[in-house]
Amino acid sequence: MPWGNIFETIMLLCFAAAWPASIHKSWVSRTRKGKSLAFMLIILAGYLAGITKVLISGTAAYMLIPYSVNMTLVACDVVLYYRNYRIDEGLPDIFG
């Protein structure tokens, strides 16, 4: 495994370690205050670009795993953002 891929994997694992805390905050706080939808969408675009790079290069297919995990975690936070938007606006909570 080339050193560049090792450090890229470490970076992605560090990012992945931070998202569960963000998801927990979104779930417990029941508000979108303090969250930035634009930020999360930019992060999703970055992970999508990383996945595209892996697919285009045709090498290091194992790099799809950390990118996919991170995209899933950010997507969960985006879903919770919309759930909390509904709560903030006084609409019914879609998750009960």
Domain boundaries, the chain: 2-89
CA 96 – CA 92 distance, rounded (Å): 8
CA distances from 18 to 2, 23, 41 (A): 25, 9, 16
pLDDT surpassing 80 at residue 93: no
- Record the tokens describing residue 10, joined without a space: 């470490």
- Record the tokens describing residue 7, joined without a space: 């450090």
Percent of the chain, pLDDT > 70? 98
pLDDT surpassing 80 at residue 76: yes
Q: What is the mean pLDDT of the chain?
A: 91
Please name the CATH architecture into which domain 2-89 falls. Answer: Up-down Bundle (1.20)
pLDDT for the residue 72: 96
Which single residue is written with the structure tokens 């879609």? 94
- Record the tokens describing residue 55, joined without a space: 């697919």
Residue range 16-33: mean pLDDT, rounded: 94
CA 59 – CA 19 distance, rounded (Å): 27
The pTM of the full predicted model, rounded to 2 decimals, is 0.86
Of 23, 29, 65, the C-alpha closest to 47 is 65
Percent of the chain, pLDDT > 90? 75
- Kind and range of the H or E element at 8? helix 3-29
